[in-house]
Amino acid sequence: MPAEPTVLAEGDGRQPAEPSKPPHASEARPAAKRSGWASLRPLVLRLHFYAGLLIAPFLLVAAVTGLLYAGSYQVEKYVYADELRVPVAADKSELPLSRQVAAAREAHPEGTVSAIRPAPEEGATTRVLLSGVPGVDPDRTLAVFVNPYTAEVRGALEQYGASGALPLRTWIDGLHRDLHLGEPGRLYSELAASWLWVIAGGGLVLWFGRRRSQRKRRNTTGRSRTLSLHGAVGVWTAVGLFFLSATGLTWSTYAGQSVADLREALGQTTPAVTASVEPGADGAGEHSEHGGASGSGASAGAGSGRDATDVGLDAVLKSARGQGLSDPVEIVPPADAVSAYVVKQVQRSWPEKQDSVAVDPANGEVTEVLRFDDYPVLAKLTRWGIDAHAGSLFGVANQIALAALALGLILLIVWGYRMWWQRGRGTSFGRPMARGAWRDVPAYLLVPLMVAVAVLGYFVPLLGIPLVAFLAVDVVLGEVAYRRGRRTYA
């Protein structure tokens, strides 16, 4: 969101006349340097302008796709209503879970059962998730939807992630995350998230740092009106934009790895129940999200050859219910002969249900219980942050808030570019801040600021690398302009 790109100092914002033979920037500046905010403002303004100008296109794409994703939850319920909903039986009695899984396997014998999600409420279908299905992306599963009252198979759709996203939401999610370009495409979203907080923070500093007389002006036409709208919306959305930036970085490629490393160093990683029931096992080997690789054991309890020693899905679900695991839950069958069932709650709305248990397939006894209340603080915050960013933590209210933030960001970007155009009086784009503003910043402010930027750039490389690249190009262009004997502002 480029903003007020041409104000040189606290005055009327006009550029000085260009001399015929301009001196070098260091020679043109007065010996006395300003201090405090007066010296920082030009630097912040220049950074805000260029960051907004260069990063705004990436932010615009992220905002538009985020707006689409915020509405995808409700659209998904409508588009896939036949698979998701069924008429409630008169007696409201559901068939045994094992029978529902058998019906799914009869209709879709390919692949292996990697998880089962029993119907979470009346009128909802049961999902039987199959992995290793030919034609299905390896990082997705085939969800077979079964009527829990009749065992009728209602259809099958690809599902992605723990949130249970179906094809429409998965496609929009991929567009928002990486533009369907794979790992290289994720750089766009990480770049946007890395710079969003910088641009928002710079805008806040500039807005509240304006002189009282400027804030009291009643001029509501032209660029002043655009600036007023840009600033007001920026102030109201700033906290939300900071939040989106921080939570978006947690699952990014490079900054996300830094966050993961920090959590591991602090002992704040997300725990998981021990899935092994082998005598003398040390508990190593965390069960994967959807049961991982297969083998005949992956279908245990569903006619896999372990039936003679397996208590079955219904007994496992009953044991989990006895530990207080209410719907919605996901049952992950044992991956091999020495693994346990893992039953975990998968509700991502407030209050979150994230408890999980391990159940011995031989006798149905619960071998381990993990409560969400026992998660480390950073693990909880990460879970809440990701779910709020995805729009599931507070349901429809969360989705409306995300849509409002996305729309606000779009308006900020449009108004920012409009101010740039209006500064040129509608015939050309206006000039940005002059170079060399950093020379007026006192050392006691500049040195700590440079250190902080270096540290942040190390842990958030898509903030640091573009910043270094910009500075390098800016210095080269400035030197070239000086040697050619003319002043430049771009």
Average pLDDT over residues 363-372: 96
Average pLDDT over residues 388-402: 96
Mean pLDDT check: name the lowest of 193-197, 413-417, 452-456.
452-456
Euclidean distance between CA atoms 7 and 418, whole angstroms: 15
Q: Identify which has the larger pLDDT, 237 or 472.
A: 237
pLDDT reading at 295 higher than 60:
no
273 and 287 in contact (C-beta within 8 Å)?
yes
Lookup result for tokens 């679900």: 317
Euclidean distance between CA atoms 300 and 310, whole angstroms: 7
204 and 195 in contact (C-beta within 8 Å)?
no
State the alpha helices, DSSP H only, in 184-290.
Answer: 186-208, 212-215, 222-250, 255-265
Q: Supply the pLDDT for residue 299.
A: 41
**pLDDT-based confidence at residue 229 (cuts at 50, 70, 90):** very high
Lookup result for tokens 């029931």: 277
Euclidean distance between CA atoms 22 and 17, whole angstroms: 11
Q: CA separation (Å) from 108 to 105, 139, 217?
A: 5, 19, 70
Mean pLDDT check: name the lowest of 231-235, 294-298, 460-464.
294-298
pLDDT reading at 308 higher than 80:
no
Q: Supply the pLDDT for residue 473.
A: 79
Q: Supply the pLDDT for residue 314.
A: 97
Euclidean distance between CA atoms 179 and 187, whole angstroms: 10
Q: Supply the pLDDT for residue 89.
A: 85
Q: Supply the pLDDT for residue 311.
A: 96
pLDDT reading at 213 higher than 70:
no
Average pLDDT over residues 94-106: 97
Q: What SS3 class is residue 368?
A: strand
Q: Report the interhelical angle of 222-250 vs 395-423 (nearest 10°).
A: 130
pTM of the model: 0.83
**pLDDT-based confidence at residue 13 (cuts at 50, 70, 90):** very low
Average pLDDT over residues 155-159: 97
Sheet containing strand 126-131, edge to edge, reads 153-159, 141-146, 126-131, 112-117, 329-332, 341-345, 356-359, 366-370
Euclidean distance between CA atoms 230 and 49, whole angstroms: 13
Mean pLDDT check: name the lowest of 73-82, 307-316, 347-356, 372-381.
307-316
Q: Supply the pLDDT for residue 23.
A: 45
β-strand pairing of 153-159 with 112-117:
unpaired
127, containing H or E segment: strand 126-131
Q: Supply the pLDDT for residue 216.
A: 56
Q: Supply the pLDDT for residue 421.
A: 86
